[in-house]
Amino acid sequence: MTRKFFGTDGIRGLTNTPPMTAETALKVGQAAGAHFLRGDHRHRVVIGKDTRLSGYMIESALVAGFTSVGMDVVLLGPMPTPAVAMLTRSMRADLGVMISASHNPFADNGIKLFGPDGYKLSDEDELAIEARLERRPDLSQPEKIGRAKRIDDARGRYVHFAKSTFPERLRLDGLKIVIDCANGAAYHVAPDALWELGADVVALATNPNGVNINDACGSTHPEGLQERVVAEGADIGLALDGDADRLIVVDETGRVIDGDQLMALIALDQQRKGELRGEAVVATVMSNLGLERRLDSAGLRLERTKVGDRYVLEAMRSLGCNVGGEQSGHIILTDYSTTGDGLVAGLQILAAMVDQGKPASELLRQFDPVPQLLKNVRFAGGAPLETDSVRRCIADAEAELGSKGRLVIRKSGTEPLIRVMAEGDDEAQVHDVVDRICAAVEAA
């Protein structure tokens, strides 16, 4: 069956434009709710959201959909994606929903679904829900319509959980930390958790107004964080995205640290403590070749998947690994979470800093990255990657890079973009290869 609604990370799009409309959200609530009506217990769905203006509209439509098929709804308000996954499990819910478009601008929104185990839905579940979206909903009898309630202590529950992942023998006393919350879902919980662990906290982008989420702030725009870390003389800076499932770090010199270096540090620190499982780290095809070489030098493997944190997690579960993620900052630590968690990943970095007594600039330079360049080409339709001219250009580039580099070209699963990435030991060659392919795609 061809997917019409679900992409690589749920349903996402421009608000009030199909598929991201109130009508679709209503139907998703009805279809997903009916799909998870299993057994004779009272069924429950947990719904969280980030701080987008459209979150109110999508939330209301989902509530109407779920209650109309007999599901009770628990509303969390603005909460990180990993908090929704955690609370879905802890509240014994049948389903969890996060309303967010992650790092995208405020005008976009999305719907992510979690099963009762807190993991993102399988392809089979998503396809089954898609099939229901095309049918008339199975509405409940009037006496069985669901109820909705909002819980007030969700924020405290998640802060307590996040702090529990930080070693009890350690504290953050004496560390000055700048945290950029992207005016998003973690604008309260992240600064609170760091302060409660003893840190001197400088909080940025913690005043969401519905339209400023990810706006020149957060993990995709770390420039302001870099400046503030240096100006404050801080020990480290942490940047989350709109739904707080990804993390980018800035060291005390103002240098940006990506997810590859974070995975390397966490994996090697766990290996040092005998806590790393699977003798490997799982990452995507976009992770730097330098990470692979660094892990190999420590006797570990880098297992690569296609792009998307769900695919990383699937591989982690099948291989028995507990550290994985993406270069973009999705760090998945299955000892603690069932999805990427920017705050929890940040706490593991801070724990390593305190435990090893080293500055961020030293600790987070685990390897020298191989020159790598990623460019995006926007396209309006068609299949530019299928044209003969683009195929010839790609084949020539692969032959030119040979065994000294890699080439990854793919369509984005969330935006109308062709992503072109190359890496290799010769930086000039890498730039030339990427520019040639981008020009070929644009011409096509």
For residue 26 the two structure tokens come to 């209503």
Decide: 109 and 20 in contact? Cβ < 8 Å: yes
For residue 87 the two structure tokens come to 């609370």
DSSP label of 20: B
Kindly list the strands in the beta sheet with 247-251, ordered across the sheet, starting from the edge strand earlier in the chain. 200-204, 176-180, 236-240, 247-251, 256-257
Decide: 433 and 401 in contact? Cβ < 8 Å: yes
Q: Tell me which amino acid residue 376 is.
A: N
Decide: 337 and 322 in contact? Cβ < 8 Å: no
- φ/ψ of residue 404, rounded to 5: -100, 10
Let me know how long the chain is.
Answer: 444
Q: Which of 419, 370, 365, 341 is nearest to 256 (CA)?
A: 365
Decide: 204 and 181 in contact? Cβ < 8 Å: yes
Number of C-beta neighbours around residue 338 at 10 A:
21
Angle at which helices 342-356 and 189-196 pack, to 10 degrees? 20
Kindly list the strands in the beta sheet with 324-325, ordered across the sheet, starting from the edge strand earlier in the chain. 301-305, 280-284, 324-325, 331-332
Residue 241 to residue 56: CA distance in whole angstroms: 20
Residue 86 to residue 96: CA distance in whole angstroms: 9
Number of C-beta neighbours around residue 290 at 10 A:
19
Decide: 234 and 207 in contact? Cβ < 8 Å: no
Residue 59 to residue 317: CA distance in whole angstroms: 31
Task: Decide the pairing of beta strands 72-78 and 44-49.
Answer: parallel
**Catalytic residue flag (residue 102):** yes
Q: What is the largest CA-CA distance in the chain?
A: 69
Close Cβ partners of 148 (under 8 Å, ≥ 6 residues apart): 63, 67, 72, 73, 74, 75
Residue 64 to residue 74: CA distance in whole angstroms: 13
- Given 54, 100, 102, 337, the catalytic residue: 102
Q: Which of 424, 422, 421 is nearest to 404 (CA)?
A: 424
Q: Catalytic residue numbers?
A: 102
